[in-house]
Amino acid sequence: MRKLYKYFITARKDLKWLLLLSIVIYFTIEVVLIRYDELFTGASKIGQFFSKLSISYISAFIFYFIVVHIKSQKDKENIYEWVGHKAYSIITSAHLFIQPLMQINDKKAKFEDLKEKDLSKLLKSIDRTAKQAPYLINGENATWLEWYEYLRKSTEDSIKEILVRYSHLDSEFIKILSRIENSLFFYQWNLLYNFEYDKTFGIYEVQIQTYLKLIDDLQIYADSNFKKFQFRTSEFVGYTRK
């Protein structure tokens, strides 16, 4: 019964209001007005018409609710479990672009503690060719650039998997993913390899700032739509948000 109620409250509001109106009209006609004489000739026929119309809508709603809506919600839950996992993976990867850089000077630093005004100073202080990243290649710590490459590839793969499998998802979600996928953060990636005179991430500050703002948009959307599935996805991505 609780599950049915959960599914019922997710139905469209306009359909639920029409259901309530139909129930009120039906019982008003069949229980109250039927006991009184006609106010004018043909009033009873008009009443019967609206009574039948109301019961038809009630029947149609029940059919829609059981056959269409419940199945749609179950499909949505199953899809959102996987899509939510991928969305939070993208968010986590973005945080891991920055958090390890912060932990060079403060081992307990977290991405959430970073202030926007401090990002520029942080990026300009890191030698992207230094082998300090939390990622091993051939038994050695990777460079920060190699770490970024790894996270970038992971993010691009997650976005492509979502768009290829579920291109019919909410247009707002698709828009956010498309903006991330087509951001300068990815399209100007070669700058990190070609600029020899500056080995810091300072040359990529604008691209990173813009990217993090897009990730904030994804975070807001994910928390609004996938958060209730997070108890399933968090065990995969190791990420929780208060």
pLDDT digits (tens, 9 = 90+) for 9-53: 878 899 999 999 999 998 988 888 777 777 777 778 888 888 899
**Which among 51, 69, 87 is the end of a domain?**
69
The pLDDT of 197-220, averaged and rounded, is 90
pLDDT at 175: 94
b/e code 132-159 from CB counts within 10 Å (16+ = b): bbebeeeeeebbbbbbbbbbbeebeebb
Ranking 30-34, 95-99, 148-152, 171-175 by mean pLDDT, the lowest is 30-34
What does the pLDDT look like over 172-203, one tens digit per residue? 999 999 999 999 888 887 777 777 778 888 88
Residue 169 shares a structural domain with residue 91: yes
The pLDDT of 121-136, averaged and rounded, is 89
Residue 140 shares a structural domain with residue 206: yes
- The residue range of the domain holding 95 is 75-237
pLDDT over 50 (residue 241): no
**Which among 53, 69, 85 is the end of a domain?**
69
Residue 36 shares a structural domain with residue 118: no
Residue 18 shares a structural domain with residue 35: yes
- 14 inside domain: yes
pLDDT over 70 (residue 70): yes
Residue 96 shares a structural domain with residue 211: yes
pLDDT at 231: 52
- 242 inside domain: no
Residue 12: helix, strand or coil by DSSP? coil
The Cα–Cα gap between 148 and 97 comes to 6
Residue 88 shares a structural domain with residue 19: no
pLDDT over 80 (residue 133): yes
Residue 93 shares a structural domain with residue 192: yes
Residue 49 shares a structural domain with residue 146: no
Residue 29 shares a structural domain with residue 131: no
The pLDDT of 125-146, averaged and rounded, is 89
**CB-CB contact of 87 with 218 (8 Å):** yes
- 98 inside domain: yes
Q: Are strands 140-141 and 136-137 parallel, antiparallel or unpaired?
A: antiparallel
Residue 121 shares a structural domain with residue 28: no
pLDDT at 62: 92
List C-alpha distances in Å: 70 to 61, 114, 142: 12, 43, 49
In eight-state DSSP terms, residue 142 is P
- 188 inside domain: yes
pLDDT at 106: 86
The pLDDT of 132-154, averaged and rounded, is 89
**CB-CB contact of 192 with 145 (8 Å):** yes
The answer for residues whose C-beta is within 8 angstroms of residue 212's C-beta and 6 or more apart is 94, 98, 119
The pLDDT of 84-92, averaged and rounded, is 92
The pLDDT of 137-141, averaged and rounded, is 88
**CB-CB contact of 91 with 219 (8 Å):** yes
Residue 230: band (very low, low, confident or very high) from pLDDT cuts 50, 70, 90 = low
**What stretches of the chain show up as alpha helix (H) in DSSP?**
2-9, 13-27, 43-63, 70-102, 116-124, 144-165, 171-181, 184-187, 191-194, 205-225, 230-237
Q: How far apart are the first and last CA of the chain?
A: 30
Higher pLDDT: 141 or 116? It is: 141
- 168 inside domain: yes
Residue 230 shares a structural domain with residue 120: yes
Q: How many domains does the chain have?
A: 2
Residue 155: band (very low, low, confident or very high) from pLDDT cuts 50, 70, 90 = very high
pLDDT over 80 (residue 56): yes
**Which among 69, 102, 123 is the end of a domain?**
69
- 211 inside domain: yes
Residue 21 shares a structural domain with residue 96: no
HEC-encoded secondary structure of 31-49:
HHHHHCCCCCCCHHHHHHH
